[in-house]
Structure 1
Amino acid sequence: MSRVRLARLGRWVVLLTAVALVIPTPAVQPASISLTTVETARAVDWGDDVLWVLVLGSDARSGTPVTSGRTDAIQLVGFNWRRRSAVSIGIPRDSWVELPGLGFERINAALADGGTEVAARAVGDLVGITPDLVLVTGFTGFVDMIEAVGPIHVESPVAFPDNVHDLVVRRGANRFDAGEALSFARIRRGLVGDDLARSANHQRLMLGVLDQLRAHEDRAGFMEAATLAAIGGLETDLSPVELYRFAQAVTGIDPSRTRACVIGGEPFTSEAGASVLLPDTDQATALGDDAEDDAILQGGCRSR
């Protein structure tokens, strides 16, 4: 093992010792980030090649539990740490699905109405992959994360102004601070493709964060500071060792070996008069069948 890797491992051991002393802690304020295992999934086997994480962006307001909000960002992310690759399957928030035990509703209501288990099951029913973990972040947790890793670079295929959030997005490379990244994540109106385009933007943000982590992971104190910033608002049922393995799985991914798809659909008006999206279930199932075992999309973002 190289001296750099030994030094990094030594810093992580110190950090994990500190983590063991502070997790779990009594919460004075509700957590801004939640990372929990899924009861209906198989036990998380950290020896497996692949880990599936359901990443949710909650609109829960400050002072309320992060898991009480609706989710405008829904991404099912598979990490293959042996191949150092990853895949993200985006699910538009207006997708009209049957929530387990709750009936038909937009999928973004699953977390607020049924908690992380219902959200995981709803995504699993649609895609055919039951996530191992559910990661939920609210506005505060998202901003804290970006501030911890520093400004991120995001590639946009189109240029557009956003008067609501006072943000100008350029075609090509953009450099966003925490507030700008949050605005970019929330933009929907005026985008070509609306909800589908916003889901693709969420994937671009995640790639920007991964790029930043990878670019600075060997800088002394960087990963420790980023981890401790997250721990301050973290609620989790993972042990410190499992948190370490999760962090290693994420930071071990090569950004150039990531793939992303968004599940499409057709606009539809529900019986209650709501404008929703009927998801392309054939595409969703095909993506799940393709990527489940190895988090690799051999067939791309195609529909059957």
Structure 2
Amino acid sequence: DMTLIAGAPGNYVIQVLNVENGCERRDTVNISQESNIPKSMTVKAQDILCFGESNGIIDILDVDGGFGPYNYYVNGIKSDKLNITDLPKGEYLLEVRDKFDCSTTAKTIINEPEVFNISLPLELTIAFSVPTELTFTASYPDEDILSIIWTNSKNEILGTDFTLQYSSNVVDIVTVDVTTENGCTARAKIKVNVDNELKLYFPNIFSPNGDGFNDKLQIFKNTIPAEIKQISIFDRYGNIVYQNDSFGFGENSDGWDGTFNSKPVEVGVYIMMIELIDFAGNKKVITKDLTLVR
């Protein structure tokens, strides 16, 4: 073979022998180290977008020195691409080898961000139909957040801001879904209870004696909406002594003055039955003893 390969730089003696006449010739050749070898490589790493994903990227941008074509290796595994994708977090050793198998290496790291999470109180009680501000806390700064969606249990959108002015008449579950600029998502829920219990206030004893105090039976309530459909008062024999289909709440209501057919009824214990329609349209019946004195 007229081509010889030197394994290392240095002086080599070449001997040529003519086998037919026995003549021989020698020469000395100096093999120097090739200076154009791969010296460095330029790489760019793109970190993982969200915690737990494997979407890191390494781009091999340039090789300084050597002779192409080049072969590339990532952690010892040959790669046919200069754009290496779908990488998990970790440290990576990149190697490039030229056509003469001369090589250089570079190290890079793909980082993973901390987990993105948000939080809300587990439960909250609010007043009936009174707006209350709901807000969440996030593990990322506000400027990293792209979108916010508040929804109720019917999946109706309630708001799209960092805070929500929320009011309701009934208990519900409110959900907030938050997405970052990198597409990381988090969800939190809060159970919102509503103080919607109707409370009635009325005396169990009243004295229609004309003294200006407690002369009429009047019924009061808290701020929860309700309507009295009918109030009936029975004597101890079950006879109706008073009935009203338009009885109102409060001091301005007509009330019962303790008469039947414009005559005072006897003192004693009566049965009061109140038929109510609450704010949700449900019918309720309340029965109480009522003592009349004079």
Would the TM-score normalized by the shorter structure come out above 0.5? no
Task: Return the TM-score normalized by structure 1.
Answer: 0.19
Larger radius of gyration: 2
Q: In proportion to residue count, which structure has more helix?
A: 1
Q: In proportion to residue count, which structure has more strand?
A: 2
